[in-house]
């Protein structure tokens, strides 16, 4: 129960890594503002079952990451609960695989808006709430693509590199007021995002890992759990690679 009585905001909760983070945090006693783009009966039922099973509170929050007004409305909804915000996990994002010369300006703007700008704006609002208690843990989901500079991932990787740089700068600015900021950089992980990669590319990437397998969403969730908990109370400004020992091969 590493997060007993803690309150966390997690974006992109309805599938993949985000859903695994949500479940892992709840299993460890956290109350959650579960953020998704749009409601669904399946998602709502899952949240209700999870809350009942682990005796925690889960509040669904819906907004489009590309809509600034919806982000502000979501923050007002969170504020209305009058509960302290202890943890923020910026997980929501999109992937994009294309050669540099084939990447359009519109696609570049979309990737950066969702993967970088929106999470930064949302974090600015959430940090204001954390400042009230002078404590908090912000976890940004980056990617090994933002470190290694893989071919075919120039735009996506650049958006994640921006997240990594922001993580380090935010940690330097917010540390003295008790807010820690770290990033997790997943390697190849079994989520719907893999559908953008061919089986050949997936297999080649797997062979470039020391463990010779894809990561599972729970592998990323456990890293986030550690960073969110007091066990990482002296860690900030760090980028934790969870990639099975992936070797950069360009």
Residue position matching structure tokens 């006693």: 29
**Catalytically annotated residue among 46, 96, 156, 234:** 156
Q: Which long-range contacts (CB under 8 A, 24 or more apart) does 161-169 make?
A: 162/112, 162/115, 162/116, 163/90, 163/115, 163/116, 163/119, 164/140, 164/239, 166/116, 166/120, 166/140, 167/140, 167/142, 167/237, 167/239, 168/237, 168/239
CA distance 153 to 166: 20
Burial of 185 (0-12, 13-18, 19+ CB in 10 A): buried
Length of the chain: 250
Does the active-site annotation cover 156?
yes
CB 243 within 8 Å of CB 215: yes
CA distances from 105 to 95, 118, 155 (A): 16, 18, 10
Q: Any alpha helices (H) in the chain, and if so which ranges?
A: 16-27, 41-54, 68-80, 105-112, 118-131, 145-148, 154-174, 199-207, 217-228
Q: What distance in Å separates the CA atoms of residue 54 and residue 26, rounded to the nearest whole number?
A: 7
Catalytic (active-site) positions: 156
């Amino acid at each position: 129960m590493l997060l007993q009585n803690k309150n966390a905001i997690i974006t992109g909760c309805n599938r993949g890594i985000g859903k695994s983070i949500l479940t892992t945090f709840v299993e460890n006693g956290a109350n959650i503002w579960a953020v998704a783009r749009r409601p669904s009966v399946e998602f709502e039922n899952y949240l209700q079952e999870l809350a009942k099973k682990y005796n925690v509170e889960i509040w669904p929050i819906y907004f489009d990451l590309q809509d600034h007004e919806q982000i502000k409305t979501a923050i007002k909804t969170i504020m209305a609960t009058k509960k302290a915000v202890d943890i923020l996990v910026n997980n929501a994002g999109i992937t994009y695989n294309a050669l540099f010369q084939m990447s359009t300006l519109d696609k570049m703007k979309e990737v950066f808006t969702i993967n970088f700008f929106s999470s930064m704006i949302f974090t600015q609002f959430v940090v204001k709430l954390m400042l009230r208690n002078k404590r908090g843990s912000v976890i940004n989901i980056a990617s090994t693509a933002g470190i290694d500079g893989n071919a075919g991932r120039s735009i996506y990787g650049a958006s994640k590199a921006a997240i990594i740089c922001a993580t380090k700068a935010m940690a330097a600015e917010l540390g003295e007021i008790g807010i820690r900021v770290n990033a997790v950089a997943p390697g190849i992980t079994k989520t719907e995002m893999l559908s953008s990669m061919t089986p050949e590319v997936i297999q080649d990437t797997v062979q470039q890992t020391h463990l010779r397998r894809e990561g599972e969403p729970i592998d990323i969730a456990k890293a986030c759990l550690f960073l969110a908990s007091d066990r990482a109370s002296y860690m900030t400004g760090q980028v934790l690679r969870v990639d099975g020992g992936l070797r950069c091969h360009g």
